[in-house]
Structures are given as structure tokens and as C-alpha cells.
Structure 1
Amino acid sequence: MNKDEQLKAAINQKLIETGERERLKELLRAKLIECGWKDQLKAHCKEDFKHKNTLYMDKIMWTIMQFK
């Protein structure tokens, strides 16, 4: 494990121990809902997949990752 990976692991562990990781996840989730991002992503995916007969997880994930 290199120094960057060690630092990342240490920070993640501290966030978990203090409960901040869950708090930050909930804050991010709430902000994304508040700004409409979640609904926009859902509408984008529905429209994109409407014309496809077969869906594969890798194509679904690619579509989600390309959403801006």
C-alpha cells in the first residue's frame, strides 16, 4: 500500500469511527435531492432506455456515469 492509499484508508477509518462518513453521505443525498439532480438523472435514464430492447448493467452504469 503506497502513502496515498494509506492516508485514504486512515481518513476513511476516522470518518467511520466518528460517524462523519454516514453524516456526509446523508448530507450529500439530501443536497442532490434538493437540487433536483436525482429526478433529472432518473428522467435521463428513462428517456435513454425507452428505445432500447435489451438492457445490460454495464450500459446502465455507463449512461449514469455520463450524466452531467
Structure 2
Amino acid sequence: MAPRTGPTGIRADAATAEEASIPGIQKAALGTHIRRTYYSDQGRPVETAGIVVPAAHCEIVYEIRINR
């Protein structure tokens, strides 16, 4: 049984003091925040992630597959 994805939220925002403790992130620096949850076939959450990526260090690229 492979997990399936749920909604993924992506937003740009200034890093908080807590996030600034992450190596490579300075307080108030612009970052990309990603929040996502994977669900089982029964709808139970099996993995959740909150990711902060420094905007000055990389570009985020997504591939979205559409099944028809």
C-alpha cells in the first residue's frame, strides 16, 4: 500500500526566529515554505512535512502528473 499525496501548500515569507536557527537561514530572510501531508488509501495521514528553503540558495521545481 503506497501512500498518496494530499494538498501541498507553498508560500514565500520571512523566516521566523525559530527558522533562523536552521543552518543557512537568517532571521527575516525570504524563504519558501512548503507544507504537505501524505495519506494512506484509507485516508489516514502517514507522513507530514514542513520545509523551509532559503530563497537566495535555490529554485524549487515541481512536476505535477495529470492522470486522465
Based on CA coordinates, which of the two structures has the bigger radius of gyration?
A: 1
TM-score, length basis structure 1: 0.19
Higher relative contact order (CA 8 A, sep 6+): 2
More helix by share: 1
If the length of structure 2 is used for normalisation, what is the TM-score? 0.19
More strand by share: 2
